[in-house]
Amino acid sequence: MHKVAITGTGIFTPPQTISNAELVASYNDYATRQNAAHAGEIEAGTRAAMPMSSEEFIVKASGIESRYVMDKAGILDPETMHPRLPERSDDDISIMAEIALDAAKKAMDEAGLTAADIDAVICAASNHERAYPAIAIEVQEALGIKGFAFDMNVACSSATFGIQAAADMIRSGSARAILMVNPEITSGHQEWRDRDCHFIFGDVCTAVILQRLDDATSKNAYEILSTRCLTEFSNNIRNNNGFLRRTREGHMEDRRDMQFRQEGRKVFKQVVPMVAELMLTHLADEGIAPGELSRLWLHQANKGMNDMIGAKVMGREPTRAEQPNVLQEFANTSSAGSIIAFSRHSADLPVGSLGVICSFGAGYSAGSVIVRKTG
Ligand code: CO8
């Protein structure tokens, strides 16, 4: 069995950002227009008026201040309220593969690897722009990587589940090094017309290189000591869009359930204890006391949620250095969040430092990856 390390990470950030102020102005414009268009029904009591959104609520409830997006104009246009991404021909690289290549090249540079050193590509994300051929195979082809590639989806936990899959394959010898990418174009399945969630998500892509520890030359290498994944079925975060859509009555309707929807309060209450318990039992089973941890790189969904999980795991409020947040800049980027936190806040720790990368989200799903700095 081989020891496995994370030896490189990369982040693609879209060039456009939307501040809370811009987002709220656009949503409120949309809601005002809707209310004017349906004034009669609202007056008659057959339709509820759309409530307005507020910047104060967003920051207080989530900690989010801004988000990166692939198309700002479409999202902010009150007549559109979703990104407009021109269709590409089959001969052009797909948009998910394109952003994955950017992040992948940065991760490969940090690891000091070329395509010839890599045996597999995993594209782990919470939605894929097509069913097949796999985005991962397109990335593999574009980079000139031999071997195999596949897509996987465990919503916000896709990256940690991808790390476990890759680590197990490297450990057992089926690959020497694996590139995992997490292209998250969440703006495509976010519901920008719903005030309860319109502020939550942002677009980004992360990439991670995993390889045999013995082969690692990176100056920022972390051995993967152990991984643990957990799932429990829940409808509280759901998206009903899928390939059977056209087989059903009303498939052409613009139905709310075809985009992201959630029972946010229930998610908050149910997922916090589930994740804290997963991390604590995982650490205990590996003989590591929470006090030995230098850092938690948590999924970035909600600052309040992370603060509670961090406090439950550490037995006290973690410092900002111990539990870095990137939420204020990126919002929730689904599977990429914990990897952004790791990528931005891992180089400074001394060799020997212990930490946990942890994700959680729809499914429910949660993944815990215990790492130790080696280089
Ligand atoms: N402006 C003003 N007021 C608002 C707004 C707004 N924008 N939104 C809601 N309110 C109001 C509500 O209507 C409510 O009013 P009232 O009390 O009169 O009913 C009041 O504010 C409080 O609302 P909530 O109870 O909903 O507010 P919370 O404090 O619970 O905060 C959150 C809402 C931020 C959504 C919070 O519940 C939360 O973060 N929950 C956890 C969410 C989470 O982590 N979800 C994970 C989803 S991500 C995932 O799993 C990946 C899915 C795949 C990716 C999808 C990509 C699109």
C-alpha 238 chain-centroid distance: 15
Residue 349 tokens, joined: 């720790």
**68 close to 106: Cβ distance less than 8 angstroms:** no
What is the pLDDT at residue 341? 98
State residue 245's pLDDT score.
86
Which of 299, 317, 295 has the alpha carbon at shortest distance from 365?
A: 299
Could you give the CA distance from residue 367 to residue 360 in angstroms, rounded to a whole number? Answer: 7
CATH number of this structure's domain 225-373: 3.40.47.10
190 Cα nearest atom in ligand 1: 57
What is the whole-number distance in angstroms between the Cα of residue 260 and the centre of ligand 1?
12
Q: How far is CA 121 from CA 146, 150, 180, 200, 327, in A?
A: 9, 7, 6, 29, 27
Ligand 1 site, residue 301, Cβ cutoff 6 A = yes
Distance (Å, whole) CA 207 – CA 318: 27
Q: Cβ-count burial of 7 within 10 angstroms (0-12 exposed, 13-18 middle, 19+ buried)?
A: buried
Task: Please work out whether the CB of residue 58 comes within 6 Å of at least one atom of ligand 1.
Answer: yes
Question: What is the mean pLDDT of each successive set of 10 residues along the chain, which is 375 residues long?
Answer: 97 98 98 97 96 97 96 98 96 98 98 98 96 97 98 97 98 97 97 96 98 96 98 96 86 86 93 96 97 97 93 94 96 97 97 97 97 94
Which residue among 262, 274, 309 has the greatest number of ligand 1 atoms within 8 angstroms of its CB, and so is best to mutate?
A: 262
Omega before residue 364 within 30° of 0, cis = yes
Q: What is the pLDDT of residue 356?
A: 98
Known active-site residue 229: no
This prediction's pTM: 0.96
**How many C-beta atoms surround the C-beta of residue 194 within 10 A?**
18
Q: How far is CA 362 from the centre of its chain?
A: 11
